[in-house]
Amino acid sequence: MADYAHSDHASRSREEKARRLAAYVWAHGISGAELLELPVAQRRKLARAAETNPPSTEETWQVVARLLDEKDAWAARNPGHPAAVRERLDEKILWVKPPVKPWE
């Protein structure tokens, strides 16, 4: 019996989904590390917000994180390029909460 999860078609489908998710997540200023730290339920909500069915495997999220890291590196090398601008950076707080600062 063939293993669909590791077929060429599944790999292409996973990569396509990862690219859609990465584009949405990157625009919100979320890094690959931050994405992987999010609880699974939060990642599922994020995927739905990106109008994408949530990935069923951690493998797809790992691909998304890798793509985010690659885009961050590219944006750092090309700061003047229009594609290096995150259009929804102000919405990051909806997904990734900043650390709570203790009272002094």
Domain boundaries, the chain: 11-94
pLDDT at 55 over 70: yes
Average pLDDT of the residues in 64-93:
90
Buried b (16+ CB within 10 A) or exposed e, 63-96: bbbebbeebeeeeeeeeeeeeeeeeeeeebeebb
Task: Return the higher-pLDDT residue of 1 and 62.
Answer: 62
* Range scoring the smallest mean pLDDT among 10-19, 34-43, 73-82: 10-19
Buried b (16+ CB within 10 A) or exposed e, 32-58: bebbeebeeeebeebbeebebebbeee
pTM (two decimals): 0.81
**What does the pLDDT read at residue 6?**
63
**What does the pLDDT read at residue 8?**
77
pLDDT at 78 over 90: yes
pLDDT at 4 over 60: no
**What does the pLDDT read at residue 10?**
75
Phi, psi of 79 (to 5 degrees): -65, -25
pLDDT at 96 over 90: no
**What does the pLDDT read at residue 12?**
85
Count of Cβ atoms closer than 10 Å to residue 12 Cβ: 10
**What does the pLDDT read at residue 81?**
92
